[in-house]
A and B are shown apart, each in its own frame.
Chain A
Amino acid sequence: MDSEEPIVFAIDDDASMREALDRLFRSIKMRAIIFSSAEEFLEFKRPDVPAALVLDVRLPGLSGLELQRQLNGSGIPIIYITGHGDIPMSVEAMKAGAVEFLTKPFRDQVLLDAISVAIKRDRENRKERAEIAEYRARYQLLTQREREVLTHVVEGLLNKQIAAKLGTTEFTVKIHRKGVMQKMKAGSVPELVRMAQKLELPSLKH
């Protein structure tokens, strides 16, 4: 996963700024694609690699903040750049999960640092998302009975208690439990609990 080369997207309506950013990214051999509007960016088919988005707040058409709202599902980290040192706007942006809010003019190093933070965050997010996808796939392999046992194990019940709840013997519960641990590839109960938390399993109705 780490071998994936990250990419920086930048959106600015100012041609001179686009050119400057392009020159800066090329100087450090960073892969970058620069757009002049939010719409142009949305149309672009993004490659599935760690990424960061450098976004001008004031854009013609769809504004930076509106774009952020639309993008929130995809989780790409955003670094805002703006010609206005507008405090309410920066608060709103940071609340919505922006990595950084930079006021023009800013030092190139400050921007590059923010970008590397953003990419690191995106990489972690992607790893997390991949992990969850993997757990979900494993969970799909469990039988209905095994899923029930899993839920009770995560709740911290003893085999005897689970058997009483499910109206079966302790021996049967032990067998289901072994199946759960194997299929979920969990080395220990704490690991299983962590997986269950990430899966955000709906608690079974008693």
Chain B
Amino acid sequence: MFTSSGKVAWGQSFCSYFVAVLVVWLAVLITLCLGPALKHTATFFFCAVMVSSWYGGLWPGLLTAFLSWLALDYYFIPPLYSLGVSPAELPDMLAFTATVWFISWLNSNQRRAKGLLQQAHDELDARIRERTADLNRTNMQPQSEIAERRAAEEGLLQAQNEVARIARITTMGELAASIAHELNQPLGSIVVNGGACLRWLEGASPNLEEAREAVEAIIRDGTRASDVLVRTRKLVGASQGTRERLDINGVVQEVIGWSNDKLTRSSVSLRLKLEEDLPPVMVDRVQLQQVILNLVMNAIESMLEVGQSSRVLWIRTEKRSLGDLLIQVVDSGVGIGPKVSSRIFEPFYTTKANGIGMGLSISRSIIEAHGGRLWLSKADCGSTFCFSLPIDREARSG
């Protein structure tokens, strides 16, 4: 690289000096040919200096100027064919010399400036090329980054699901334990009172007054047990979020958005039949999403046992003449046997290995809290879960 560039530089300067000599020779030739027709003898020698200094820079320019001066003096300045200068020609020759030196200097400067400019341009060009290459590289990077991020997101989603499941179980477990304790207190009293009552009634002379008091206590404790349930229900009710007027199809679409990945991975094809311009419903968005997501996930899981080609999930929404909306989640799975279908809405009943058996039970409570119903309408050759939601009253009257 170094040597080759050195060679190039040497070749270039040789060329410059060759040109310097050549142009002088040409100028002499042309001027001699034109002879007296030429008004100013020095014209072509000016041109020669210009060309040479432009092409070769300062030093070839100066060489041309010197050779031109010699040629001019020898061929055209009296005394002719000698290097002497008559005093009369001296000012002209001095002017010529000064002019060509000046031209040389000017041209070479301009050339150097142009060279620098060219160099800067080249550098810029090289830098642009480099940056473009960099950009191309970084453009390639995002694709691998996207893949990485997608994997991370999937991991996160799984972790979230696991956390949510554990939290659900823990909360359910704690809630169940506390309800059990609250209920066992009055139940304990009821059973003891019942036993005491029977004992007071036994024997030859039963003590009716004591027995009556025991029965009254039993009634009181029964009411207390029922109060516990009412309180629990209120507690669950109080945890409801705010309700808003929503388009049910929008909620369905949101849930589909979340489930797309799972649908694709499970090779389930989705058929949507959402009736257009449905009136809005007054619902808790998160709870409704939970219900639909639960039904969709159940449907997908129920289809894992059938062949991939026949896995189809239908989701339909429609307005019923009853003045409510009907949402159906239909799968082409293995269906639900009569034994299971009779218990499927019971809390803690599950057919899944890692299920807690609360999904459908909670879903049903949510839908009922919204004034709707949730039921299993078809259980053989796939299952159809339906739920209804009342149309928002304002929308109905409006």
Contacts and interface: CB of A to CB of B under 8 A. Distances in A.
Contacts of A109: 195
A53 interface: no
30 contacts: A14-B189, A16-B189, A16-B220, A17-B185, A19-B189, A20-B190, A20-B193, A20-B217, A21-B192, A23-B192, A23-B196, A23-B200, A24-B192, A27-B196, A27-B199, A27-B200, A27-B207, A28-B199, A81-B188, A83-B184, A84-B180, A104-B185, A104-B188, A105-B184, A105-B190, A105-B192, A106-B188, A106-B191, A108-B192, A108-B199
B116 to A, nearest CB: 89
Tell me what chain B mostly uses at the interface: helix, strand, loop, or mixed: helix
Contacts of B193: 20, 23-24
Contacts of A26: 196, 210
A103 interface: yes
A84 B180 CA distance: 7
A111 interface: yes
B181 interface: yes
A105 B196 contact: no
Contacts of B214: 20, 23
A104 B187 contact: yes
B214 to A, nearest CB: 6
Pick the most buried of B185, B192, B193, B194: most chain A CB atoms within 10 A of its CB.
B192
Contacts of B333: none
| 4 A-B pairs with the lowest CB-CB distances in the bound complex, closest first | A108-B195, A104-B188, A27-B199, A83-B184
B275 to A, nearest CB: 51
A104 B191 CA distance: 9
A107 interface: yes
A31 B199 CA distance: 16
Contacts of A14: 185, 188-189
B187 A105 contact: yes
Nearest to B190: A105
Nearest to A112: B195
B151 interface: no
Given A16-B217, A104-B188, 11 more contacts: A14-B189, A16-B189, A16-B220, A17-B192, A26-B196, A81-B188, A83-B184, A104-B191, A106-B192, A107-B195, A108-B192
Interface residues of A, number: 23
Nearest to A27: B199
Nearest to A85: B180
A68 B181 CA distance: 22
Interface in A71-111: 81, 83-84, 103-109, 111
Interface residues of B, number: 28
Pick the most buried of A20, A28, A107, A111: most chain B CB atoms within 10 A of its CB.
A20
B124 to A, nearest CB: 79
Interface of A: 14, 16-17, 19-21, 23-24, 26-28, 58, 81, 83-84, 103-109, 111
A17 B199 CA distance: 17
A106 B213 CA distance: 20
B210 A23 contact: yes
A106 B194 CA distance: 11
Contact of B191 (A27, A58, A105): A105
Contacts of A19: 189, 217
A16 B224 contact: yes
B186 A16 contact: yes
Contacts of A21: 192
B22 interface: no
A43 B388 CA distance: 62
B117 interface: no
B381 to A, nearest CB: 43
Contacts of B185: 14, 16-17, 83, 104
B331 interface: no
A106 B191 CA distance: 7
A178 to B, nearest CB: 58
Nearest to B191: A105
A58 B182 CA distance: 12
A16 B214 CA distance: 11
A70 to B, nearest CB: 25
B73 interface: no
A108 B197 CA distance: 10
B206 to A, nearest CB: 10
B195 A17 contact: no
B189 to A, nearest CB: 4
A179 to B, nearest CB: 57
